[in-house]
Amino acid sequence: MNRAPRTYKWRPSHKTFRIKRILGKKAKQNRPIPQWIRFRTDNTIRYNAKRRHWRRTKLNI
């Protein structure tokens, strides 16, 4: 029997609903802060410190 080695955890197109829900939440979190927050008085937030780049930092799910 010549079988191809299984080197992947799961195929990218085959997602469970739980994984898809987590990916959707992480996609919504991964955005810059709104401009109106920067213009408030006594504001110290300049950028989103928890921003994630898809190639540099993986989610480990």
Cα–Cα distance between 8 and 17 in angstroms, integer? 19
> What is the phi/psi pair of residue 19, to 5°?
-65, -45
pTM above 0.85, yes or no: no
- The answer to whether residues 51 and 32 touch, using CB atoms and an 8 Å cutoff, is yes
- The answer to whether residues 45 and 30 touch, using CB atoms and an 8 Å cutoff, is no
The 10 Å Cβ neighbour count of residue 6 is 6
At residue 6 the predicted structure's pLDDT band, cuts being 50, 70 and 90, is low
**Which structure tokens are listed for 26?**
């992480």
User: Domain residues of the chain, as ranges?
Assistant: 15-50
CATH architecture for residues 15-50:
Orthogonal Bundle (1.10)
Summarize pLDDT for 11-58 with one digit per residue, the tens.
778 999 999 999 999 999 999 999 999 998 788 999 999 999 999 999
DSSP label of 55: T
